[in-house]
Chains A and B, each alone.
Chain A
Amino acid sequence: ETGVTQSPTHLIKTRGQQVTLRCSSQSGHNTVSWYQQALGQGPQFIFQYYREEENGRGNFPPRFSGLQFPNYSSELNVNALELDDSALYLCASSLVGHGETQYFGPGTRLLVL
């Protein structure tokens, strides 16, 4: 059974640029969620995708957007990067349904200069 994978592992961007982060879900899972974890904080829910559509969103602005593909992999796109976007971005996959366990990938560390 293949776990959740994310790419790239690290990324450095400058303010105002755009970034795309990628996630492959665990085999058998059909739902992908994205989280932002600032240094010293708990992860914050960005959004969740199921059947290639966003079906839930946390308190993040529209410049955070995503995609889910037919093979359940996903992308997180962030436009107009700000310094505060520097964080660890975590992807989690699960089966659809409330309370289903989310399994996390290793994350992508984004640094915005």
Chain B
Amino acid sequence: AQKVTQAQTEISVVEKEDVTLDCVYETRDTTYYLFWYKQPPSGELVFLIRRNSFDEQNEISGRYSWNFQKSTSSFNFTITASQVVDSAVYFCALSGGTGGGADGLTFGKGTHLIIQP
């Protein structure tokens, strides 16, 4: 069975600080995909990034960066120079590589990020 663990339930930082959200996953699949989604108070999940298990290159998009380490089964997310608009719940998710994707996404419990002005 697949599992995603986000150990940080809530993180509170002051604006402009850097913050890292941790994600650890478990899967027996050799091909799998990892995702991060942002959920603002409105409830809609906003897609941030998708990474496949064969691509361990780190990625940077503006103030966002992701560190994928297969050796430790982690896919961590860093926000540099945080802003109040970054306040939201962030979810890490895992998709299996078999069954045509019909197994759906397995989500962690989320990390509530609070950016204080």
State the A residues within 8 Å of B (CB).
Answer: 31, 33, 35, 40-48, 50, 55-56, 58, 88, 90, 92, 94, 96-107, 109
Say whether B106 faces chain A, with CB atoms less than 8 Å apart: yes
Distance to closest chain A CB from B89 (angstroms): 9
Report Cα–Cα, A45/B46, bound state, in Å: 17
B37: chain A residues at CB < 8 Å are 104
> Which of B32, B37, B102, B107 lies at the interface centre, i.e. has the most chain A CB atoms within 10 A of its CB?
B102
Are the C-beta atoms of A56 and B103 separated by less than 8 Å?
Answer: yes
- Measured as residues with beta carbon below 8 angstroms from the partner, the interface class of chain B is 20 to 34
A35: chain B residues at CB < 8 Å are 104-105
> Which of A90, A99, A104, A106 lies at the interface centre, i.e. has the most chain B CB atoms within 10 A of its CB?
A99
State the B residues within 8 Å of A (CB).
Answer: 4, 31-33, 35, 37, 42-47, 50, 52, 91, 93, 95-110
Distance to closest chain A CB from B68 (angstroms): 14
- The secondary-structure label for the interface of chain A is strand
Are the C-beta atoms of A98 and B95 separated by less than 8 Å?
Answer: yes
Are the C-beta atoms of B104 and A48 separated by less than 8 Å?
Answer: yes
Report Cα–Cα, A60/B42, bound state, in Å: 26
Kindly identify which residue among A43, A48, A50, A101 contacts B47, using a CB–CB cutoff of 8 Å.
A101
Kindly identify which residue among A88, A98, A101 contacts B43, using a CB–CB cutoff of 8 Å.
A88
Once A90-B45, A104-B45, A107-B43 are accepted as A-B contacts, the answer to whether A99 and B101 lie under 8 Å apart by CB is: yes
Known: A45-B105, A98-B31, A98-B97. 9 other contacts (CB 8 A): A33-B105, A35-B105, A45-B104, A56-B103, A92-B45, A98-B33, A99-B97, A101-B35, A104-B46
Nearest A residue to B109, CB-CB: A42
A106: chain B residues at CB < 8 Å are 42-44
> Which of B42, B47, B95, B101 lies at the interface centre, i.e. has the most chain A CB atoms within 10 A of its CB?
B101
